[in-house]
Amino acid sequence: MIFNPHTYILEDGGMKTTDFEQLEFKQKVDPYGLLNPGKMKAWLDN
C-alpha cells in the first residue's frame, strides 16, 4: 500500500476507500461539518 503524505484529503492519503465507521463518528460529533471541512470525500458526498 502506498501512502501519500502530500495531500490533505483523508481518502487520498492512503485509505482510498470510505471508512463508514469513521464517517458515522464524524456525523455524530460534527453534524454540521464545521470541523476540518473538506477533509473527507465521503462527507462531501452526503
Look at residue 21 in the predicted model and tell me its pLDDT. Answer: 87
Tell me if 1 is assigned to some domain: no
Domain of residue 26, residue span? 11-45
Tell me if 6 is assigned to some domain: no
Tell me if 38 is assigned to some domain: yes
Tell me if 3 is assigned to some domain: no
Tell me if 31 is assigned to some domain: yes
Q: What does the pLDDT profile of the chain (46 residues) look like in tens digits? A: 667 778 877 777 776 677 788 889 989 999 998 988 888 888 876 6
C-alpha cell at 46: 452526503
Show the CA angle centred on residue 27, arms to residues 46 and 35, nearest 5°. Answer: 95
Tell me if 35 is assigned to some domain: yes
Q: Tell which residue, 10, 11, 45, 40, has the closest CA to residue 26.
A: 40
Domains held by the chain: number: 1
Look at residue 28 in the predicted model and tell me its pLDDT. Answer: 94
Query: What is the reported pTM?
Result: 0.60
Look at residue 1 in the predicted model and tell me its pLDDT. Answer: 64
Helix boundaries (H) for the chain? 20-29, 41-45
| 9 CB-near residues (< 8 Å, 6+ apart) | 38, 39, 40, 41
